[in-house]
Amino acid sequence: MMSVSESDDTGTEGLKQTGATPRYSRRLSDKILIAFHHACDQGDYEIAEQLLHILENMLTRRTVSPDANRRKSIESLVAAHERLWHLRHPERNFG
């Protein structure tokens, strides 16, 4: 029998086996940011832009409890927008 700690990244396989509560290693916003960078790495800028829009919606909506990592999340969002802009405008990159 597989335990939750031996499951895949989402913990779903272990849940099927043990009925335990999921233990996610990353926040959903982190996974979306990783998917954004993956899309950029593959040159799929349209999908990257859509993922950024989803991430922006998640980070700017009102939450019941304030997130201690909100400032870091917003900074990551800004950096992601900058990366996509530079990838789409390589002629304007200096250095």
* Residue 1 maps to a domain: no
Q: How far apart are CA 46 and CA 15, in angstroms?
A: 34
Question: Is pLDDT above 70 for 50?
Answer: yes
The predicted-structure confidence for 11-26, as pLDDT tens digits, reads as follows: 444 455 556 677 778 8
- Which phi and psi angles does 62 have, rounded to 5°? -70, 135
Residue range 39-44: mean pLDDT, rounded: 98
Q: How far apart are CA 4 and CA 10, in angstroms?
A: 9
> What's the pLDDT score for residue 61?
84
Average pLDDT, the chain: 80
* Residue 46 maps to a domain: yes
Instruction: Assign 1 a pLDDT band (cuts: 50, 70, 90).
Output: very low
- CA torsion 77→81→82→83, rounded to 10°? 100
The residue whose two tokens read 């927008």 is 81
Number of domains in the chain: 1
Question: Is pLDDT above 80 for 67?
Answer: no
* Residue 34 maps to a domain: yes
Q: Which domain holds residue 41?
A: 27-92
